[in-house]
Amino acid sequence: MRRWLIAQGIVVVALVGCGDAAPPADAGVDAPTADVGVDTPAAVDVVEKPADTGREIPSCPTPVSGGDGGVTVRGHGMTFGPTGGRIRDAVVTVREHPGWCARTGSDGAYELGGFAPGERVTLEMHHADYWPIQTGTYPVAADGARFVGFQAPTNGIFRVLAQYLRITPDPTRCQIATTVVARGYEGYDPGGRGEVGATVTIDPPLPPDAGPVYFRYLSPSAIVPARELTETSLDGGVLFLNVPPGDYVLRAHKAGVTFNEVAIRCRAGVLVNASPPWGLQVQ
């Protein structure tokens, strides 16, 4: 997991020596859109509205409310930020199954059963202290899915990153993140397993100002997005900014290397993070 240090409201990790990075002005993006829905599923009751964001956090019975039978999806909520750690008491919902939900435990773990083998699902995590986040849209194998995690920035870290990138996050659009990782990446291995020298494209394509923005890797605790990079570093991270709602496919490219593809369902106001091991990976 990437780690950041914050001082006086700006990112200071690895910025020494990176002063040549000069992010341009706001990345406004126009592209074809598709209505994929942005409202809270009707079967999930809204119980609170945090004052700092106005976001609605769904309620969820304890310990879990999913489907009967089928296979299980498991994962964790994890903090993307200077403190790291697992996210407890977050609500996990399923875009394709309104009303299904689980709460993360003290170790950040959740699990949901009832999925049909082969169906494609999109999981969302809700917590007042974290920016709204969802996974990519993944197929569920016959034996279920593990390590379907949420690498989530706090509200403060999200705003600091936006400030550094010199964008104003558009509430009618989404932000997209993923990581291009080397072959054999499993679980939640620490950073430094990115596939170096890959490029990432998104389909339908977006204007250049939207990205890709690659992360520069200096050390496990010194990683920063750098607009001047043209390919992945050892971190493997990449961003697309202020993306219009719609369905997209991410692809990685490198001579002599084959990668899987990642489907993204972009929804307004959400950070979509296809984090390892469910990001772009060498096959």
User: What gap in Å lies between CA 212 and CA 237, rounded to an integer?
Assistant: 10
With CA atoms as reference, report the closest residue to 53 among 176, 174, 159.
Answer: 159
In the prediction, which pLDDT does 54 show? 57
In the prediction, which pLDDT does 77 show? 94
Strands 101-103 and 64-65, sheet pairing: antiparallel
Domain residue spans of the chain:
6-25+38-281
pLDDT value at residue 272: 97
Could you tell me if 179 and 212 are in contact, meaning their C-beta atoms sit under 8 angstroms apart?
A: no
pLDDT per position in the chain (283 positions), as tens? Answer: 343 333 323 333 332 223 233 333 333 433 333 333 323 333 233 333 343 455 788 888 766 777 777 899 999 999 986 677 899 999 999 999 988 999 999 999 999 999 999 999 999 999 999 999 999 999 999 999 999 999 999 999 999 999 999 999 999 999 999 999 988 877 776 666 899 999 999 999 999 999 999 999 887 777 889 999 999 999 999 999 999 999 999 999 999 999 999 999 999 999 999 998 899 999 8
